[in-house]
Amino acid sequence: MSRTVACGVAGLVLIASLLTALAGPAAHAEPAGSHGAHEPSATEIRAVDGTNVVFSYGEVMPSFDGWTDRERSRRYLGLDRKWKFAYDTGDAGEAAGWFRPGFDDSDWDTIAVPSSWDLKDNDGWGGYDGADFGGGGSLVDGNGWYRTTVTIPANWRDRHVRLAFLGAFYSADVWVDGHWLGRHEGGHTPFALPVDGSVLRPGHSATIAVRVYRAATYTAYDGTGQPIADDHALPSGPVDYWPYAGLTRSAWLEAVPEVTVAKLLLDARDGTLDARAVVENHGDSAFRGTVRIDPGPRSGGSPVTVAVEVPAGGVAVPRALVSIPNAPAWSTGTPAVDRARATLTGSAGGPITDTLSSTYGQRSVTVGENQLLLNGKPLFLKGYNWHEETDHSGRSMTRAEYDQELGQAKALDANFLRNAVYQRHPYVYDWADRHGVLQLDEWDTMWVNEAQQRIQLDYGLSRALATATVWNNHNHPSVIIWGLQNESTPNTDTYRAWLTQMRDAVKAVDLSDRPVTWASATSWDEAFDLADVVGFNEYFGYFYGKSSDLTPTLDAVHANHPGKPILITENGTWSFWGQHGDPAEAGTEEHHAAYFQEHWDQVVAKPYVAGYAFWVLKDYKQRRNYNMELNGLSYMGMLRWDGDRTRVVFDTFRKAQPPGWATG
């Protein structure tokens, strides 16, 4: 692979080998990095009252809006703060009792949550100076331990408590007061672990300990090391983005009523809101009551009340079809959102038991003949890939940084983001809903080879991540397509079975029936019949062939899959910032811009192509064995790593006009 590469080889060139129950204080996790027979969250889909419900850790996977929203019926204890921190690369911490509340951590360092240990003691993180590559904790692999002590409020008695994390890379084992709660695998997916009532004592302190594990990706990071693979993990080895380690996103404790609305599923179209409240009973007695669904102030609809009965320890899903006659259609031009609320009561006129609200937008996403349709109108996606990171905060971005980064979509006159190869922070989806920017959402299935796909069919992590992503981001109108994988080894029976497993999970959960696609490594993917939208990465004129080869390739793909819209999920090249010259000379900013323009012109000339995603918004970090002389930075971005200074291609992309038929 070229040392200037920022993503895997695509198009016609095919790379076949891309890479217990709770107990007392003596309860221990398996060694960090080990794998059981199945992924540790036991994520599964169960049919309840005609609705497919996602469970993990034995309970309904809850809403994660607690990172920002506060329901009055619930209690919250934020954990974004300084934690005690220590590396444990020799995996000695568990045997030494680092999870126990009485352990003396007075000589430990501190670290902010959220953040990643890559940036710890690393003043050179933000530049292009290769002398800074590998500074601080950026190449420290293995375990990092986090500890904090909190006081549990006295009013948390008789409540169900869960410990929620928006992200822990790559895997995390969690203890509370010496009791092991469980393990999560998958560094970009939120998770919540139930805390048994015997563990917490309201009115007393509790010690939370988290062991976060990141595997090494090379035997050495000096350019001579050999890649290391973990065939059960996702990603399974070195990938072309930085694997930020630690508690990289927010964490909190949440106490909910014993009978609670765990999730509110919303699908609004054609003047009707389909609302399903997933009610979970953690108590010992059956619950009988009502759920009132309020469609929100902009909808013009009246609340609807439905009865609900939930057995002890059980789950029910009451459903309401609510008329929303005044709700505007959500679109890129009018991104109108409303907030629906589910109110659970035990008896008519009685006190409120629990509430849960969620934003939504009224829109439909369908696939027509050779076209992607938003609200029945043809849509062309002008967009780009992006990585969630800044030179100051890594992947633990502030809201101001998100506003700056995401605002580039408007500056570039783009309507589309590809959330390439991992789930983003919840703020991204909220922002896109409010600003009318469409999203292709994905999870960590990048460069998965056939042997690893075969493992995933049984181990189930790829299915779990797909299921969780759709469940978590279900209500966001800006999410219009799901992406199953990126540049994984295609065209085998295993590959087809693996894609089918994820596709079936996505379709089972999504009430909106959004289309699915993936970023194939080849334009001749034999499984494209499983996709609603044909998606592939292409680098004609960079890795192989000539740029002009794109046109006959598009025609051939269309002939093989007539009626299906085509999406170019990646295309781009590179340039040195500030190097100007002949557009025919690789490495110049002018060549970067001309290369984009040539591919764009071919794409918009084809009425069956529904969109194009440029690679990539901004230079970004990776720790594969190239570009170490540039501090690990890949320079394929329209923007420099600082996110402020543009290349020539930025303005060229901004001025590029979608085809005249695009109306979405």
With residues binned 3-state (H G I as helix, E B as strand, rest as coil), the percentages for the chain, rounded to 5, are 20, 30, 50
Q: State pLDDT tens for residues 474-510.
A: 999 999 999 999 999 999 999 999 999 999 999 999 9
The whole-angstrom separation of Cα 322 and Cα 131 is 61
Q: State pLDDT tens for residues 310-338.
A: 999 999 999 999 999 999 999 999 999 99
Strands 81-88 vs 44-48: parallel, antiparallel or unpaired: unpaired
pLDDT for 350: 84
Residue 466 lies inside a defined structural domain of this protein: yes
- Least confident window among 16-20, 208-212, 217-221, 460-464: 16-20
**CATH number of the domain to which 156 belongs:** 2.60.120.260
Residues 301 and 393 in one domain: no
Percent of the chain beyond pLDDT 90?
Answer: 92
Asked whether the predicted pLDDT for residue 22 surpasses 60, the reply is: no
Asked whether the predicted pLDDT for residue 166 surpasses 60, the reply is: yes
pLDDT for 348: 72
Residue 664 lies inside a defined structural domain of this protein: no
pLDDT for 349: 74
Residues 227 and 293 in one domain: no
Residues 228 and 356 in one domain: no
Q: State pLDDT tens for residues 613-637.
A: 999 999 999 998 888 999 999 999 9
pLDDT for 626: 83
- Residue 107: other Cβ atoms inside 10 A: 7
- Residue 9: other Cβ atoms inside 10 A: 20
Q: State pLDDT tens for residues 334-365.
A: 999 999 999 999 977 789 999 999 999 999 99
pLDDT for 219: 95
Residue 229 lies inside a defined structural domain of this protein: yes
Residues 292 and 408 in one domain: no
pLDDT, mean over the chain: 94
Closest CA to 138 of 212, 216, 239, 86: 216
Asked whether the predicted pLDDT for residue 142 surpasses 60, the reply is: yes
Number of domains in the chain: 3
Which segments of 178-311 are extended strands (E)? 179-185, 191-195, 205-214, 251-257, 259-269, 272-281, 287-294, 304-310
Residue 33 lies inside a defined structural domain of this protein: no
CB 428 within 8 A of CB 457: no
Q: Where are the alpha helices (DSSP H) in 101-168?
A: none
| Boundary residue ending a domain (310, 338, 360) | 360
Residue 83 lies inside a defined structural domain of this protein: yes
Q: pLDDT category, 555, cuts 50, 70, 90?
A: very high
Residues 308 and 412 in one domain: no
Asked whether the predicted pLDDT for residue 650 surpasses 70, the reply is: yes
CB 448 within 8 A of CB 484: no
Q: What is the dihedral of CA 112, 117, 119, 122, to 10 degrees?
A: 110
Residues 603 and 532 in one domain: yes
Asked whether the predicted pLDDT for residue 5 surpasses 60, the reply is: no
Residues 334 and 250 in one domain: no
Residues 397 and 517 in one domain: yes
Average the pLDDT over 375-385 and give the result. 97
Helix (H, G, I), strand (E, B) or coil at 92: coil
Q: State pLDDT tens for residues 388-408.
A: 999 999 999 999 999 999 999
Q: State pLDDT tens for residues 403-435.
A: 999 999 999 999 999 999 999 999 999 999 999
The whole-angstrom separation of Cα 620 and Cα 572 is 14
Residues 550 and 584 in one domain: yes
| Boundary residue ending a domain (214, 230, 255) | 255
pLDDT for 15: 29
* pTM of the entire predicted model: 0.95
Residue 66 lies inside a defined structural domain of this protein: no
The whole-angstrom separation of Cα 337 and Cα 72 is 22
Q: Which two tokens stand for residue 223?
A: 């350019």
Residues 240 and 334 in one domain: no
Residues 372 and 490 in one domain: yes
Asked whether the predicted pLDDT for residue 1 surpasses 70, the reply is: no
- Residue 102: other Cβ atoms inside 10 A: 9
Q: Which two tokens stand for residue 65?
A: 């809006």
Q: Give Cα separations from 231 to 242, 449, 454 (angstroms).
A: 19, 9, 10
Residue 30 lies inside a defined structural domain of this protein: no
**CATH number of the domain to which 342 belongs:** 2.60.40.10
pLDDT for 26: 45
pLDDT for 23: 32
Asked whether the predicted pLDDT for residue 274 surpasses 80, the reply is: yes
* Start-to-end Cα distance in the chain: 38
141: containing domain? 71-255
| Boundary residue ending a domain (234, 255, 276) | 255
**CATH number of the domain to which 628 belongs:** 3.20.20.80
Residue 20 lies inside a defined structural domain of this protein: no
pLDDT for 27: 61
Residues 144 and 263 in one domain: no
Q: Which two tokens stand for residue 261?
A: 């609305």
